[in-house]
Chain A
């Protein structure tokens, strides 16, 4: 006489133990990365409020206001180390803050590990490209470039 096997309708289906495998956490993560990321979001957020509103105020309200913003205005600002540091801090903090935010959104919404990995690779590549290019521009910006001994056209530079 064969005993009738009645399968319990557990989520794990056959042979998967009591808890469905998708709920099992694979090992505990060592380190404080998530804590530091959480802290960074709060601190950078506070600093960014000052940096961004300072930036908007100086560009749009002070002096000639928005109508004075042109190539020469930007060139003038980046000739000053103060604004170089200001813009550099704004670039780095905003990019890291934003990228970390998108990273958590990917973590929350991507359901498959492969999707999650690829979205994050694209995100990190994009963030790195913008941060590197931006840093390069802030420090090497030259409003009057000379190529092969010839002054490039532009109305902002004194005639050679």
Chain B
């Protein structure tokens, strides 16, 4: 027999409807998922799924429950499931978000929650899009350190102020939520897109990097920063809270001050 240890009294006031400590309220929710399977039909359709979820569940948990218990053919990307890898950006209730960072209870659960693939990139299946065009633009801005000086024997030192200059743009996880929320990118996919500019910004303003001019020249293209219309869709969509539009404006300023 084990002696029962008394639970310490909860310090949180729980409403009467909720049972004992630790019980999480559950609710029924309908997910309206955009389905597309080119092997069956060229037309995309909506599928509704009813699931019982808990207050601590995210949209990703609902998708998992659907895939594991109702329809195994529902396809989506996810890797870490904790908002770091950037695999599961999708359009939830018309806004680009990470499914793993969006709590169901924060959405309107009285209506079906729409889940679509991010816009502007070719859909491969259901919620999976072809990210290649996105990564192509990312690669074009040379997102790596280029230093023409002698290689130091230890690490490359940098003052805290110099590091702070580009701190915001180091947070990017390449989920494509910003680029696929940009109406200019939706038109023809030619625009470099906010994510590529953010990652260029991260090196342009890095005091250890020597290729800032090359990156500014690349982004001075007619499909570069000047196509930005400052609609702030990217800033609103960024799950990492990066001030994307501000970063783009800073790159514009850098090009201007170099040329004019």
Contacts and interface: CB of A to CB of B under 8 A. Distances in A.
Interface of A: 9-11, 18-20, 22-25, 28-29, 32-35, 37-39, 104, 107-111
Interface string B121-156: 110110000101100100000000000000000000
Contact of A25 (B132, B190, B252, B256): B190
Contacts of B124: 9-11
A66 to B, nearest CB: 36
B255 interface: yes
Nearest to B125: A9
Contact of A35 (B38, B183, B184, B256): B256
Interface of B: 38, 121-122, 124-125, 130, 132-133, 136, 183-184, 187-190, 218, 220-224, 226-227, 229, 252, 255-256, 259-260
A12 to B, nearest CB: 8
B132 A109 contact: no
Given A11-B124, A29-B222, A38-B226, A20 B187 contact: no
A35 B188 contact: no
B204 to A, nearest CB: 16
Contacts of B218: 28
Given A11-B132, A23-B133, A25-B190, 15 more contacts: A9-B38, A11-B130, A11-B133, A18-B132, A20-B132, A29-B222, A32-B259, A34-B227, A35-B220, A37-B226, A38-B226, A39-B260, A108-B184, A108-B187, A111-B188
A37 B221 CA distance: 13
Contact of A34 (B132, B183, B224): B224
Contacts of B38: 9
